[in-house]
Amino acid sequence: MQAKPTVRLALAPSRQQQGFLRRLRRASPLGLLFATAVTIFYTVVFIIPFGTAIWLSFQNWDFLTKPRFVGLRNFAHALSDAYFWQALKTTILFSVVEISLGVALALLLALMLSQVRGVTQNVFLSLYYLPVITPTVVTVYLWSWLYRPTGGAFNTFLSAIGLPPQPFLASPSQALWCITAMVIWANVGGASVILLAGMNDVPESLYEAARLDGAGFWQMFFRITLPMIRPVLVYQVVVSVIGTVQMFDPFFLMPGPGFSTRTLALYTYQLGFQALNLGYGAAVSLIIFVLLLFATVFQLQRWQVRWEH
């Protein structure tokens, strides 16, 4: 009785008969070891923190006294908190402008780079990539120096061509756009390298066929290049949304006056580590999570891109 199923299993192992325990016995030891390590790791740095974030968002806690359960009050507070709405508006403004200008510039740059080949392309590519590899702190302190209202490089340039000097970072209405310009400068090389890689993947035969049919440069760009690199373009936009909404360093290191450049990311940090309002900070950070999730799903649905693994 005992031996019979074993023999049958050896001849024709059917999935139904392999119980969990049996599969465990046949499993690769290395696989199990890795699975255990990875499970412990993600429990400590992901599941527990994520659970804590959700738990914290229902509490009122200042790090010192005992946490107090407040129900949905933190989320309700966000709805009536003018600072929250201001931060949300700043985040969306920054994100939309940075991405539309940044992607358009990157597309133009990639298109130009695709027209030169070999060493020339490599040299230009490296030059445009330099800001991407520069540490953000360096970028920030360099640009705040250039933006100085008196004696800054930009104002020196403006006065040289006869324009009035600008306050730049010192003005609540200009500071956000100064930061946006800096971020575009820092990111455009990275985006164009990705788009260029996409353009290089377009089969040359398509262009040859189009050329035989007498298509011009721009016609080929709009009819062949753009549709072919669409998945790359969508990927770039989706990743940029996630990146810009979470961006922290420039807003922390070169803030404009008052709250003019305070984004949701900076607000979360300040609530958690400066105002010690941990419950509310966690609630705001969860709102960012949900907004990003919706934005990502919406974009993927809207532009109908399927990710293949």
Which of 131, 178, 187, 261 binds another protein (CB under 8 A)? It is: 131
Min. distance of Cβ 5 from another protein in angstroms?
A: 19
32 lines the binding site for another protein (CB under 8 A): yes
Which of 94, 232, 241, 262 binds another protein (CB under 8 A)? It is: 232
251 within 8 A of 261, measured Cβ to Cβ = yes
How far is the C-alpha of 103 from the C-alpha of 111, rounded, in Å? 12
Q: Choose the stretch contacting another protein; rule: CB under 8 A; options: 6-14, 23-31, 82-90, 96-104.
A: 23-31
246 lines the binding site for another protein (CB under 8 A): yes
Tokens found for residue 265: 């990311």
Binding string, 145-184, against another protein, x = CB under 8 A?
A: xx---xxxx--x----------------------------
Which of 104, 127, 163, 275 binds another protein (CB under 8 A)? It is: 127
Residue in the structure block whose two tokens are 């520069």: 134
Q: SS3 for 69?
A: strand
Q: What are phi and psi of 247, to 5 degrees?
A: -60, 135
Residue 208 one-letter amino acid: E
109 lines the binding site for another protein (CB under 8 A): yes
70 within 8 A of 58, measured Cβ to Cβ = yes
Burial class (CB in 10 A: 0-12, 13-18, 19+), 215: middle
112 lines the binding site for another protein (CB under 8 A): yes
Which of 17, 122, 173, 219 binds another protein (CB under 8 A)? It is: 122
Residues in the chain: 309
Which of 20, 66, 212, 304 binds another protein (CB under 8 A)? It is: 20
110 lines the binding site for another protein (CB under 8 A): no
218 lines the binding site for another protein (CB under 8 A): no
Q: What are phi and psi of 56, to 5 degrees?
A: -60, -35
Residue in the structure block whose two tokens are 């402008």: 97
How far is the C-alpha of 187 from the C-alpha of 99, rounded, in Å? 10
Tokens found for residue 239: 């990743």
How far is the C-alpha of 63 from the C-alpha of 71, rounded, in Å? 18
The CA–CA distances, whole Å, from 29 to 6, 19, 41, 189 equal: 22, 18, 18, 45
Which of 9, 76, 197, 209 binds another protein (CB under 8 A)? It is: 197
Q: For residue 212, what is the enclosing H or E element?
A: helix 204-212
Residue 14 one-letter amino acid: S
Binding string, 48-87, against another protein, x = CB under 8 A?
A: xxxxxx--x-------------------------------
Which of 84, 94, 143, 168 binds another protein (CB under 8 A)? It is: 143
Q: Choose the stretch contacting another protein; rule: CB under 8 A; options: 38-46, 85-93, 161-169, 207-215.
A: 38-46
Which of 202, 296, 303, 305 binds another protein (CB under 8 A)? It is: 296
Binding string, 262-291, against another protein, x = CB under 8 A?
A: ---x--xx--xx----x--xx--xx-xx--
Considering the complex, state which of residue 173 and residue 276 has its C-beta at the smaller distance from another protein.
276
Where are the extended beta strands (E) located within the chain? Answer: 59-60, 68-69
Min. distance of Cβ 213 from another protein in angstroms?
A: 18
